[in-house]
Structure 1
Amino acid sequence: MKVALTGAEGFLGWHTRVLLRALGWPDPVLIGRADLADAAVLADRLRGVDRVLHLAGVNRGEPAEVAAGNVAVAEALARGLRRCAQPPKTLVYANTVQAGNGTAYGDSKAAAAAILAGAAAGCHLVDHRLPHLYGEHGRPFYNSVTATFCRVLADGGEPELRDDRELRLVHVTDAAAALLDAPPAGPWDAAMPALRIGVHALADRLAGFAATYRGGDLPPLTDRHDVRLFNTYRSHLFPAGYPIPLVRRADHRGELVEAVRSHGAGQAFCSATRPGVTRGEHFHLAKVERFVVLRGRAEIRLRRVGGRGLVRFPVDGAEPVVVDMPTMWAHDITNTGDGDLLTLFWTNDLFDPARPDTYPEPVAAA
């Protein structure tokens, strides 16, 4: 299926592109501001597209700017669709549960839906009213209260709490799966299972993760929202919060390093890697994965999916450290020493070959 996206650089847009990569679907057509400004250009860009995801919008700013921005981008997209000789079969709109709630944001999102409903004959509109989204690399003080709490905790602070209210949280990858109508072939869920939690309870849960993880211990991860909230918190620690030093204990019997202290469950294993050999070259959507080099020297490299820059960690078994792989970052480890490399790997779940949550991706890709 060929997909086009507006708002591809935003929070939901990036997660949607990562999910497309995990699904193995073709690279999406990215619709930018310049394309939206010219209906003829936009119609050409949409040629051969099966599904358009309209994710672009304005949710912060002066009320008049928010209202005008959401309506203007919907009108621009509608003009381009009407110019298509063969319009896409499906137009998916990332709307909000706040649509029509009397605010500039909610009313403009509802108005945009009405504009898109008449965008092009033969183009079916799917209007997804999304709740509060959270997930990795959300923009603090902008995208969500979850991102804000995670950023404050990652910086060593305490979230500022005011009025308490119940939130309905959905992980952004589940929302992307719903927008794409993705098959149930991975850790996503297009049914968008929600976590209902109060603001204070959310702050307490995240603060508990932060306190446990501060020394490298892994907190209990009892359900899928725990895993995803923990991954969201970890995304705000990376890369500045790594490596995490480990304590080396020694007596007459020798030395011991507690590489993994899990307050929940998981799977640990060791590998021996010959000099010059690289392991990995993949990314995960939900899996929490830890690398600890016990003997030898290596370089761990990571690249955010869709990005270009590499993060590198030289590691040595003589000074053991923890590097936990952030979700949605391609990663590998290369033996840079002269002898065999002994590495301990741990993941929070047991490997299931039917749902491996492991997607090939070269780290050094352009």
Structure 2
Amino acid sequence: MRIVVTGAAGFLGWHLRVRLRLTGDDVVPVTRDNWAELPDLVAGADAIIHVAGVNRGPDSAVVRGNIDLASDVAVAVRRSGAPSRLVFANSTQCGNGSAYGTGKAMAAEILADAVAHIGGHCVDVRLPNLFGENGRPRYNSFVATFVHAVVGGIAPTVVDRPVGLLHAQDAAQVLIDGLTSQQKRTDPAPTMTSVAAVLDTLREFNAVYSDGGDIPVLRSRLDVDLFNTLRAARFPAGYPIALTPRTDDRGRLVETVRAHGSAGQTFVSTTKPGITRGEHFHLRKIERFVVLGGQARISLRRVLTDRVVHFDVDGRNPVAVDMPTMWVHNITNIGDQDLVTLFWTNELFDPDQPDTYPEPVSVPIKEAAPC
């Protein structure tokens, strides 16, 4: 399918495009930079996922902004008579009387009318509070604000209340499912928690992880997602993580992973000089590299961007480098002897769901501007 994604440079838009890389579909990202081209882009598409929206600013600007964006999409759909399917990233706040809820409700009506006019199918996805890697503090989510504060040693103001959270990757999957759904409305279920509980969890995780890279107890999928969000905010400035060798007359011991109650799998590989391993990314998996012998370059690139981060490491001074989720990564033997590397992941390998998606680190992505 050829899928137009509006709001492609935003938080949810980036997560959605990462997820769509796994489907093999042709994705057309639409941002502020090419919004004027929307009619032509829509004319050649099979589907639209409309993510673009306005959620900050004066009330009138928030209402008008969401209406205007939806109207532009609707005009493009009516003029072209295509595509026959539109998925709208709506909100659970739709119609709640707030400026954002009012703007979203009116946008939903505009889009549904346009798609009905051409005999197509519109799916209204009511998303709850979203969070995840690379969110902007004080903009995308209170979770992003808390992560920024915790990493920076700041004590944020908390007004506690119950809250339902959905990771952005789960939201992206629901939007993709809408491309084939026969339903007109989808309400993905969030995980219930509270504002104060989220802050307490992030503080606990940061304290444990800051102590030599210890992995905290991860009791649930929400814990894993919050920890991955925290790790993304610490990368790359917080890496590599120094490890402390213990040496006596028998030799040397290095504690490479201290996991507090977590499951996991450890394996060791050797790599010949000049050979590269990896060239893939993960959506959920926590993975650690520790070189114990030889010299290596660990390279990483955030998916859909072209800046590559390098760490040159030496087994004589072991350090840990943890792979952030949705960063393509590899390891290359840059020495003249076999490279010995220990790898650890927080989950046992499942061949049916390996969470490993091939992509080279070095290939620049020719799409929208980096998020």
Per the normalisation by structure 1, the TM-score is 0.93
Q: Please say if residues 36 and 73 of structure 1, whose CA atoms lie closer than 8 Å, have aligned partners that are also in contact.
A: no
Structure 2 CA distance for partners of 1:247 and 1:193, relative to 1, 3 Å: farther
CA distance in 2, matches of 1:34, 1:255: 56
> Could you say which residue in structure 1 is the equivalent of 2:91?
96
| Structure 2 residue identity aligned to 1:245 | A
Q: CA deviation at 1:35?
A: 5.1
Match for 1:344 among 336, 342, 355?
Answer: 342
Q: Which amino acid aligns with 2:107?
A: A
Distance in 2 separating the partners of 1:192 and 1:362: 33
What residue number does 1:115 align with? 110
What secondary structure sits across from 2:332 in the alignment? strand
For 1:279, the aligned partner's letter is R
Report if aligned partners of 1:4, 1:31 keep a CA contact under 8 Å in 2: yes
Separation of aligned partners in 2, 1:105 and 1:265: 42
Among residues 242, 245, 248, which one is paired with 1:248 in the alignment?
A: 245
Alignment length (residue pairs): 354
Q: Indicate the percent of aligned positions where both proteins have the same amino acid.
A: 55
* In 2: Cα distance, 1:316 partner to 1:206 partner: 32
| Contact in 2 for aligned 1:296/1:341 (Cα 8 Å) | yes
Matched residues in 1 for 2:19 and 2:232: separation?
A: 17
For residue 304 of structure 1, the aligned residue among 298, 302, 305 is 302
- Partners in 1 of 2:306 and 2:48 — Cα distance? 26
Q: C-alpha separation between the residues in 2 aligned to 1:192 and 1:211?
A: 32
Give how far 1:44 is off.
2.4
Report deviation, 1:119: 1.2
Residue 29 of structure 1 pairs with residue 28 of structure 2:
yes
Matched, 1:278 2:276: yes
State the partner residue of 1:64. Answer: 60
The aligned residue for residue 207 of structure 1 is 203
Tell me which of 69, 81, 90 is aligned to 2:77: 81
Q: Distance in 2 between matches of 1:337 and 1:182?
A: 49
Task: Report Cα offsets for 1:255-313 as digits up to 9, x if no partner.
Answer: 11100111111001100000000000000000000000001100000000000110000
Any unmatched runs of 5+ in structure 1?
184-189
2:138 corresponds, among 134, 141, 145, to: 141
CA drift of 1:32 comes to 3.2
Matched, 1:159 2:156: yes
1:45-92 Cα shifts (integer Å, max 9, x gaps): 12342220000010011111111111111111111111114x112111
**Counterpart in 2 of 1:290?**
288
Query: Any idea what SS the aligned residue of 1:363 has?
Result: coil
SS at match of 2:63: helix
Q: 1:34 to 1:226 in 2, by over 3 A?
A: closer
The corresponding residue for 1:14 is 14
Q: Does 1:228 align with 2:222?
A: no
Does the C-alpha gap of structure 1 residues 258 and 313 become closer, same or farther in structure 2, counting only changes over 3 Å? same
Displacement of 1:178 in angstroms is 0.5
Q: Partner letter of residue 27 of structure 1?
A: D
Contact preservation (8 Å) 1:174, 1:191: no
Question: What root-mean-square deviation, in Å, do the aligned CA atoms of Structure 1 and Structure 2 show?
Answer: 1.6
1:181 alignment partner in structure 2: 177
**Does the C-alpha gap of structure 1 residues 95 and 345 become closer, same or farther in structure 2, counting only changes over 3 Å?**
same
* CA positional deviation for 1:192: 4.3
Q: Structure 2: 5+ residue runs without aligned partners?
A: 180-185, 365-371
